[in-house]
A and B are shown apart, each in its own frame.
Chain A
Amino acid sequence: MRIEQHPIITFNKGRKVQFTFDGKVYEGYEGEPIAAALHDAGIRVLGHTHKLGRPRGFYCAIGNCSSCLMVVNGKPNVRVCVEKLKEGMAVETQIGRGDIK
């Protein structure tokens, strides 16, 4: 959900772009963190823990806590709270630790 009106801040958004999350098409603004666009789309579960499969989401927003690791354009363990959204990005839920190719 976007904040449309704010008494203090004017948000400088990039241009609207499309990306996919687990194959489905979504819209976001270029240059914002992938997690912001996903959050706007109501997507809270970004991944699952390795052993117990517990759902994990956004937590620190500064690339510090490793709660938001996802697969982006085939690359695993991308911190989506700091990785910037670009047109046509393929974002996927990560299962397991991911492979280094």
Chain B
Amino acid sequence: MIHTEIAIVGGGPAGLCAAIKAAESGAKVIVLDRNSQLGGQLIKQTHMFFGSQKQYASHRGIDIANILISKLEDYKDKITVMLDATVIGLYEDRVLTVDQGGKYIKIKPDTLIIATGASEKFQAFPNNDLPGIYGAGAVQTLMNVYGVAPGESVFMVGAGNIGLIVSYQLMQAGIKVKGVICRGPKFGGYAVHASKLRRLGVPVMPSHKVVYAHGKDKLERITLIKLDENKKEIPGTEFDIEVDVLCIATGLTPLAELLWQMGCEMKYISELSGHVPLRDKNLMTSLDGIYVAGDVAGIEEASSAMVEGSLAGLCAAKAAGHIHPDFEALVADCHKQLYDLRSGPEGEAIRKGLSKAELKEVGL
């Protein structure tokens, strides 16, 4: 059994920032990631981020991953990184069981930060399992990390920021995008992304949905239908589009299995895109010493995941007996950054969701 002060599950933007702040506070940290490299989904984000300087705005996601990983290097004596290491169990006595390349390892941390991220949602329509129908993140991984085109021509379902950005990235890679749809009367992503696509001649069409996918062994054609302002199908408005790739960008849902297994108090909150752990303002769950950060706590952007990671890192380190010399100021700054990121009309749903996820103060 390996003992550590803090174990962090997930080495994406939240987990990396948590590790940096925990180590900066003086704690011994183990970062576990099931992939063979750190960075989580940042490694396929070729677009520049919005937000403020503190969250690396105007840097590309791929570059942010490298900045964070190189910061980790500064704390080599404090941080142990375990790659290709899948956490397969988390027990009531706080023992983590890990599979690393077929080896079974047990880790007992004093405090724990769960930063496992999210997975992509499916859409329900006949033949939605045909090869050629992929998650948007999968298409990004295939083309931006491995340089393989997902197909000849793509149709995008979902016009939030992911749908719009991935469509643009497909065009950058020389792949035809035949259109982008969403169910609501207004697309969810930033207007700047939609305008970029429209200027390139890609139709961005609100009030549409996929009703059928056609093809024998792989996708050949889709049938779309128009929706009214209440998202109800308008009969007789069906039309077909020939594509070999349908990209599903209709959102993510938290990967919260470990929190369930551990017995954290969970709640379904639609604004946060799934079942999320209740947490206090410093991201501690209903279980003492178990923290969360990033998409597992509710789907947001990578920028807020990084700030949540820093906050959880500082607080988990404090719980493990290592108080950062600037603890109060840094925690206040994290709260301020999160407040700013979630302000304005864009943050309305998140604010509403988070207000339902509040745990009445137990610790701190």
Q: What A residues does B132 contact at CB under 8 A?
A: 44, 57
Distance to closest chain B CB from A57 (angstroms): 3
Size category of the A interface is 35 or more
Q: Do B34 and A63 have beta carbons less than 8 Å apart?
A: yes
Q: A8-B46, A58-B131 are in contact. Are A3 and B119 (CB under 8 A)?
A: no
* Interface flags, B58-89, vs A, CB<8A=1, else 0: 00101000000000000000000000000000
Q: How far is the CA of A54 from the CA of B255 in the complex (A)?
A: 27
B46 contacts A9, C-beta separation under 8 Å: yes
Partner of B120 from the list A13, A44, A60 (CB cut-off 8 Å) is A60
Q: Assess the A62–B137 pair: CB atoms within 8 A.
A: yes
Q: Is B150 an interface residue (CB 8 A)?
A: yes
B46 touches A1 (CB 8 A): no
Q: Is the CB of A6 within 8 A of B147?
A: yes
Which chain A residues numbered 41 to 94 have a C-beta less than 8 Å away from chain B? Answer: 44-46, 49, 54-65, 67, 81-82, 84
Alpha-carbon distance between A42 and B35 when the two chains are bound, in angstroms: 25
B340 partner residues in chain A, CB cutoff 8 A: none
Q: Which of A8, A13, A46 has the most CB of B within 10 A?
A: A8
Most buried by B among A8, A54, A61, A64: A61
A8, B119: Cβ atoms closer than 8 Å: no
Chain A binding surface SS class: loop
**Cα distance A76–B234 in the bound complex, in angstroms:** 46
Q: Report chain A residues within 8 Å CB of B36.
A: 84
Contacts known (A2-B149, A56-B131); A45 close to B217, Cβ less than 8 A:
yes
B218 touches A (CB below 8 Å): yes
* Distance in Å: Cβ of B45 to nearest Cβ of chain A: 11
Measured in the bound complex, the distance between the Cα atoms of B132 and A56 in whole Å is 9
The count of A-to-B residue pairs whose CB atoms sit within 8 angstroms is: 95
Is residue B97 contacting chain A, with contact meaning CB distance below 8 A?
Answer: no
CB within 8 A of A2: which of B60, B131, B148, B151? B148
Nearest Cβ in chain A — how far from B34, in angstroms?
7
Cβ distance A60 to chain B, nearest Cβ, rounded Å: 5
Whether B130 and A57, one on each chain, are in contact in the complex, defined by CB atoms closer than 8 angstroms, is: yes
Check if B133 is an interface residue, CB within 8 A of chain A.
yes
| Given contacts A9-B147, A36-B148, A62-B119, A3 and B131 within 8 Å (CB-CB) | no
Which one of B138-146, B271-279, B281-289 is at the interface?
A: B138-146
Counting chain B residues whose Cβ lies within 8 A of the other chain, the interface size class is: 35 or more
Assembly CA distance A22 to B120 (angstroms): 30
Q: Give a binary string over B145-180; 1 marks a CB under 8 Å from any A CB, 0 the rest.
A: 011111110000000000000000000111100000
Residues of B within 8 A of A1 (CB): 148-149, 151-152
The answer to whether the Cβ of B291 comes within 8 Å of any Cβ in the partner chain is no
Q: Which of A28-43 contact B (CB under 8 A)?
A: 32-33, 36, 39-40
Q: Say whether B129 faces chain A, with CB atoms less than 8 Å apart.
A: yes
Q: Which residues of A are found within 8 Å of B46, using beta-carbon distances?
A: 8-9
Shortest Cβ distance from B36 into A: residue: A84
Name the contact of B141 in the complex, choosing from A49, A56, A62 (C-beta under 8 A).
A62
Residue B147 contacts which of A11, A82, A84 (CB distance < 8 angstroms)? A11
From the candidates B34, B130, B137, B152, name the one contacting A61 in the complex (CB within 8 A).
B137
Interface contact B147-A3, CB-CB below 8 Å: yes
User: What's the minimum C-beta distance from A93 to chain B, rounded to whole angstroms?
Assistant: 12
Residues of chain A from 1 to 27 with CB closer than 8 A to chain B in the complex:
1-3, 5-9, 11, 13
B135 interfacial contact with A, CB 8 Å: yes
User: Would you call B142 and A61 a contact (CB within 8 A)?
Assistant: yes
Chain B contacts of A56 at CB under 8 A?
129, 131
- Choose among A33, A49, A63, A65 the residue that contacts B146 (Cβ–Cβ < 8 A): A33
The reply on B134 being an interface residue by CB < 8 A is yes
A49 to B130, CA, bound (A): 11
Residues of B within 8 A of A39 (CB): 142, 148, 150
Please name the residue on chain A nearest to B175 by beta carbon. A3
Residues of B within 8 A of A7 (CB): 172
